[in-house]
Amino acid sequence: MKKYFLYIIMISISIFLIYEGLILQKRNNYNINIIKERILYYNILVNKNDGLYKDKDTYYFKGEKVNNYLKIFNRIYRIVSFTNKEIKIISNKNEAVFFYGKNNKFENSNINIWLNKTSNDNTGVYFDSINNIDKYLIKKNNEKYFSILNYQMYKNSGADKGYLNNGESSFIIDNLNNVKIKGENGKVKDNVGYNTASGIRVVFDLKSNLKVVKGQGTYNNPFIIEDNDNKYINRYVKLENDMYQIFFDKNGILKLRSNTVLNKKINFTSEYSKFNPLNKNNIAYYLNNEYYNTLTYKKYLKECSFQTGEVMDNYNYLDIYKSKISVKVGLINIFDLNISNFLDGYYLVNTSKNSSNIAFRYNKFGDIVGDNSYDINKILPVVCISKSDIIKGSGTLKNPYILE
C-alpha cells in the first residue's frame, strides 16, 4: 500500500513538472517587452470561470478576478480584449461625471464631443489630455479615437458578475447605439433623460506593439506602458503642505485641484449670481480674498480662466463656454476631466439658468445634483501654476512635483 501511494505521488510530481515545463517553454517564446506578448505571458487561457478567453483571433477577459490592469498616461485602465493589431482598454473608474444632453444618440451627445475633437476648439477635453496621441492609439469608428462602455463588452466581461461592474454608475451604449445607465449594482437601466448625469468610462484602442516597462497585470502591479510624452495630467504637485492633482495642461499652464476639501463649508451665494469674485456674498469672493490670503504660496499662483457658463434648458456641454472669468482660485466645472476618486459633496463652478438659485455639486454617489445656492456645502479649490516653476519630483503621491 505504501509503495502504491509513493507511486501515485511520483506520477503526480512528474505530471506537474511536465506541465510546468510546457508552460515555461510556451512563455520563453514571448517577447515580454511588448504589451500583447506580456499579457499572454502572465495569463493562461481558460474555457470556464474567471480568466483570459479566446474567440477566433480575439482574446478577452471575463470574470471578477482577472489580471488585466494596465497603466498609461498616468491612469489605470482595464484590458478588455486584444488581437495581433490592437489592445482595447477601458478606464478603471469614471473619468468624469456630467449630463447626457438632449440627443439620445451617442454621436450627437455631450459624451462624444467631450471625448473627441471636432472643428470646435472647445470639444475634445479627453483628447486634449493625451499628448502625441497617434503614437499610442489607433483611430477607428468613423475616425474617432474614443467611445465608452458598451453592452457587448459588458456582457462578454461577465456583466454584473464581471470586472467591469466596479460599483459606479456609468453611461453604457446598447446594441442600437442608444445610451443607457449601468447602475452601481451593475444592472443596466433605461431611464436616461437629457438631464441625467452619470459617469464616463473611456474606451479606446492601443497599438499592440507598445513597449512595456514592467508589471504582471494585477492591481498592485499593473502592466506599465512606456510613455515619455505625458508627464503632467493626473500627476501631483505639493505647494507647501497642500497636495494638488493636475487635470489640465495647456500653453505652459497647469490647472490643479486640491487633493482634499477645505475644513470650512460655505454657501455658493446668498443671492443670485454666477461665480463672481466681486460679490462679497459669493463663494468666489471668499476663495479669492479670505482663503487666498491664508496661502503661503501665493507667489506661484497664476490667474487663469474658469468656464462659468450656465447650464441651459438643453443641458448642452458647449454652453459652459459662453462665459468665463479669470481669477487666482476657482472650482471644478461640470465638464472638467475629473479622475479623482472622491466626488463627495463639493460645489462645482457652474450654476443653472433654469432657476436663479441653483448651484451644482457632487453627491456621495458621484452624481451631480442641483442645490439651493444658499445651502452649505464642501469646497474643493482649484489653482493654476506655471509648468516652468517645477524644479523637482516625479509627480507621484510619494514624490510630488515641487516648485522652486
Q: For residue 148, which phi and psi values (nearest 5 degrees)?
A: -130, 180
Asked if pLDDT for residue 48 goes beyond 70, the answer is yes
Cα-based angle 243, 249, 250 (whole degrees, multiple of 5): 145
Give the per-residue SS3 of 315-328: CCHHHHHHCEEEEC
User: In the prediction, which pLDDT does 21 show?
Assistant: 44
In 3-state terms, what secondary structure has residue 49? coil
Asked if pLDDT for residue 24 goes beyond 50, the answer is no
List own/partner pairs for 227-231 with CB under 8 A and 24 or more apart.
227/72, 227/73, 227/136, 229/131, 229/132, 229/135, 230/73, 230/74, 230/130, 230/131, 231/395
| pLDDT-based confidence at residue 354 (cuts at 50, 70, 90) | low
The proportion of the chain whose per-residue pLDDT surpasses 70, expressed as a percent, equals 90
User: In the prediction, which pLDDT does 10 show?
Assistant: 58
Asked if pLDDT for residue 20 goes beyond 70, the answer is no
> Per-residue pLDDT averaged across 163-180, rounded?
91
User: How many CA atoms are closer than 13 Å to the CA of 23, on its beta-carbon side?
Assistant: 12
> Per-residue pLDDT averaged across 35-58, rounded?
95
Do 83 and 57 meet the contact criterion of CB atoms below 8 Å apart? yes
Question: pTM of the full predicted structure?
Answer: 0.90
Cα-based angle 157, 125, 315 (whole degrees, multiple of 5): 90
Q: For residue 117, which phi and psi values (nearest 5 degrees)?
A: -80, 135
Q: Which amino acid is at 179?
A: V
> Per-residue pLDDT averaged across 210-226, rounded?
95
User: In the prediction, which pLDDT does 18 show?
Assistant: 45
Report the DSSP beta bridge partners of residue 132. Answer: none
User: In the prediction, which pLDDT does 274 show?
Assistant: 86
> Per-residue pLDDT averaged across 148-175, rounded?
94
List the one residue out of 279, 280, 278, 282 whose CA is nearest residue 266: 282
User: In the prediction, which pLDDT does 23 show?
Assistant: 44
Q: Report the first-to-last Cα separation within the chain, whole angstroms.
A: 78
> Per-residue pLDDT averaged across 37-50, rounded?
95
Please write the tens of the pLDDT for every residue from 81-130.
999 999 999 999 999 999 988 766 788 789 999 999 988 889 999 999 99
Please write the tens of the pLDDT for every residue from 299-321.
999 999 999 988 887 888 899 99
Going across the sheet that includes 347-351, the strands are: 347-351, 358-362, 368-372
